Amino acid sequence: MQKIQQYIKEVIQEMKKVTWPTWEELKGSTLVVILFSIIMGFYIAGLDFGLSWIVEKFLGRG
């Protein structure tokens, strides 16, 4: 039980040291992640369709 209490005290001390982002920083970072995810989704989809087309042509099925 002593170790658990010590652990909780240390966690609280460390959480006081954390610098949390402002609301504007959070919104900006979220926008970047969403845009990057969309762009990568289109890139991977394009790669998938392109490679599928190449394989179909190579195997003579299209």
pLDDT band (50, 70, 90) for residue 33: very high
Mean pLDDT, the chain, integer: 95
Q: What is the mean pLDDT of residues 13-36?
A: 96
For residue 37, what are the CA distances in angstroms to 9, 23, 47, 49, 56? 38, 21, 15, 18, 28
The answer to whether the CB of 56 falls within 8 A of the CB of 62 is: yes
Spell out the long-range contacts of 12-18 with Cβ–Cβ below 8 A and sequence spacing 24 or more: none
